[in-house]
Chain A
């Protein structure tokens, strides 16, 4: 009835001192630790997919119901800013991938510059997003009573709407643009929140990298942060066509 009958002894008694510095005590090997951490990260991303999945479901259902409103509301988004943002975000994914590669190949300067690049591109993305939000704020397109949501701009007959060659909407359908904007802000807002969290982590990583971190082969954090960043990027890759593009020619 002791602790080791079940068991033959593995090799010799391992003391903690024999572990590599970055190996947590409860792992047998560095390899196990890295596999575990990356598996955990993938699983976390799966929960994130479910998180956004609820919003995507709601979006697709309402788009089906209030198609004209969704088309009209989608047309008020700034396609250019959206497109630029998509490129900015893809570029930031590229710089992040570069960062991971630099960390793997122990290029300290490369890592630092890649992280700075990623951080700047992330900030640019949020800046452009802010500009888009601000425009919506001024147009009273932010849903809810406290922002004085106003669907007048979508109502037929509206000179402004006709000028841009868009199909005018009946008042009741125009009111449904609020549902579109509710989901637009919920989805892009959640995405932006993920960006902000990412940039906080990124800053921490940058600070550590500029103090000589990640040059000893222990780069699990960089790699997994990379996964996270790419995930946030991919969410945008779905948001952009759904919110900006698919209604353009409808």
Chain B
């Protein structure tokens, strides 16, 4: 046969690994795929219909067969048909797609939060327990994970095709996405927004682990200082506690239980305190003055790194009883049994080496 050996090799390789969709490794993936299949079918029907019409008319009414054309103005009924039917189908896709959209971007309340910072050209993941990773992400199976994303330079985009999720990492604001992995394995983590020279090297791996393996991994890779603890140290070293000390006469409002609450700003506007609000309040305090306080807080723009901000936010979140309780509820099964039992880093590495 005339095929070159190289091409033949490729064909064999492709046919043996033939796949047109990536693995369905998250709770949402089969739902996205269902809509994709529906759309593909509708498109195929549409394409075949157009193809059949064109081919059939071309054969039936070619010059040899049909020398004189019959002039037709049009047909309101027909035109209405092919206006309304596509419109109806598109609206179905719109509603179905929107439902999915809201599912993909609305994390469930019991999601475990992991921070991811994008920078040229790497993904830095910050686990609440203080584990840091670069270009890799370890997550437990069957546990909703919320990713809070931010970029410290240009736009990046956090994409895990196997989970059918993607979210832009934007400089200067938090965005979130969530997923619940359903298959143990290693999956691609891509940056899909063009971000400069080594854009195509900004890739990593998502490792979905069983709860046991995840516990091991947590214990193995802990830095010894959780995000909140790190935040507490920063809080002190930046002298935040000089004002935010919870004393009745303090110059700044108390931060205990502030996360998740509704504040009233000095402008009279109510706001919900979430991660994004906390970050903004540190960088641009004067736009977020709590009612009853003077706009005296200096800005920390340029003085704290994105990771530092994440630690601070995490610390403030931990000052909130509700959040602590919820976090404990969600992750008890996953966290290493006793944090104080976790041996020092070198020792733990030894301990886990033989499973």
A and B directly contacting (CB within 8 A):
yes
Q: Across the interface, do A170 and B295 meet the contact criterion of CB distance under 8 Å?
A: yes
The distance from the CB of B238 to the nearest CB of chain A, in whole angstroms, is 15
Residues on the A chain within 8 Å of B298, using CB: 170-172
A-B pair number, CB within 8 angstroms: 32
Question: Chain A residue with minimal CB distance to B282?
Answer: A172
- Please choose the segment from B76-84, B284-292, B342-350 that sits at the chain A interface, where 4 or more of its residues have CB less than 8 A away: B284-292
Q: Across the interface, which residues of A come within 8 angstroms of B284, CB to CB?
A: 172-173
Contact with A along B296-311 (1 / 0, CB 8 A): 1111010000000000
B299 shortest CB reach to chain A, Å: 3
* A159-172 near B? 1/0 per residue, CB < 8 Å: 00000000001111
- Asked if B313 is an interface residue, CB under 8 A from chain A, the answer is no
B139 close to chain A: CB less than 8 A: no
Residue B112 CB within 8 A of the other chain: no
A-B contact pairs, 7 of them (CB 8 A): A68-B287, A169-B286, A170-B296, A171-B286, A172-B285, A172-B298, A173-B287
- Residues 54-73 of A contacting B (Cβ, < 8 Å): 65-66, 68
Partner of A175, one of B295, B296, B301: B301
Alpha-carbon separation in the docked complex, A66 to B283 (Å): 14
Bound form: Cα–Cα A66–B296 in Å:
17
List residues of chain B with CB within 8 A of the CB of A175.
299, 301
Contact A170 B301 (CB under 8 A): no
Q: How far is the CA of A172 from the CA of B287 in the complex (A)?
A: 8
Minimum distance in angstroms from B117 CB to a CB of chain A: 22
Interface residues of A (CB under 8 A from B): 65-66, 68, 156, 169-173, 175
Excluding A66-B287, A68-B287, A170-B286, 20 further A-B contacts by CB distance (< 8 Å) are A65-B287, A156-B295, A156-B296, A169-B286, A169-B295, A170-B295, A170-B297, A170-B299, A171-B286, A171-B298, A171-B299, A172-B285, A172-B286, A172-B287, A172-B298, A172-B301, A173-B284, A173-B286, A173-B287, A173-B295
Complex formed: what's the CA distance from A56 to B285 in Å? 27
Closest beta carbon of chain B to A44's beta carbon, Å: 35
Question: Which residue in chain A gives the minimum CB-CB distance to B289?
Answer: A170
Q: What distance in Å separates the Cβ of B30 from its nearest Cβ neighbour in chain A?
A: 40
The smallest beta-carbon distance between B253 and chain A, in angstroms, is 15
User: How far does the alpha carbon of A173 sit from the alpha carbon of B295 in the complex, in Å?
Assistant: 10
B296 to chain A: which residues have CB within 8 Å? 156, 170
Chain B contact residues, majority secondary structure? loop
| B301 shortest CB reach to chain A, Å | 6
CA of A175 to CA of B283, assembled, Å:
11
Residues of A within 8 A of B299 (CB): 170-172, 175
- CB-defined contacts of A68 to chain B, threshold 8 Å: 286-287
A173 partner residues in chain B, CB cutoff 8 A: 284, 286-287, 295
Bound state CA distance, A172 and B284, in angstroms?
5
Distance (whole angstroms) from the CB of A233 to the closest CB of chain B: 36
Q: Which residues of B contact A66 (CB under 8 A)?
A: 287
How many angstroms from the CA of A173 to the CA of B286 in the assembled complex? Answer: 6
Name the CB-closest residue of A to B301: A172
In the bound assembly, the distance between CA atoms of A171 and B299 in angstroms comes to 7
Q: Least Cβ distance of B340 to chain A in Å?
A: 40
Query: CB-nearest residue of chain B relative to A172?
Result: B299
| Nearest CB in chain B: distance from A250 CB, A | 12
Report, nearest first, the 6 A-B pairs whose CB atoms are least far apart: A170-B286, A172-B299, A173-B286, A170-B295, A172-B284, A171-B299
A107 to B100, CA, bound (A): 72
* B156: min CB distance to chain A, Å: 24
B42: min CB distance to chain A, Å = 37
Q: In whole Å, how far is A67's beta carbon from the nearest beta carbon of chain B?
A: 9
How far does the alpha carbon of A173 sit from the alpha carbon of B287 in the complex, in Å? 7
B295 CB contacts on chain A under 8 angstroms: 156, 169-170, 173
A148 to chain B, nearest CB (A): 17
Task: Give min CB distance, A161 to chain B, whole Å.
Answer: 13
Assembly CA distance A68 to B287 (angstroms):
9
* Nearest CB in chain B: distance from A3 CB, A: 25
Output the nearest chain A residue to B300 by Cβ-Cβ distance.
A172
A35 to B80, CA, bound (A): 39
Per the bound structure, the CA–CA distance linking A172 and B301 in Å amounts to 8
**Bound: A68/B295 CA distance, A:** 12
Q: Which among A65, A171, A172 has the greatest number of chain B C-beta atoms within 10 A?
A: A172
B287: A residues at CB distance < 8 A: 65-66, 68, 172-173
Instruction: Give Cα A156–Cα B289 distance, bound, in whole angstroms.
Output: 15
Residue from B285, B287, B296, B298 with most neighbouring chain A CB atoms (10 Å): B287
For residue A34, give the distance in angstroms from its CB to the closest CB of chain B: 38
Looking at the assembled complex, report how far the CB atom of B278 sits from the nearest CB atom of chain A, in whole angstroms.
15
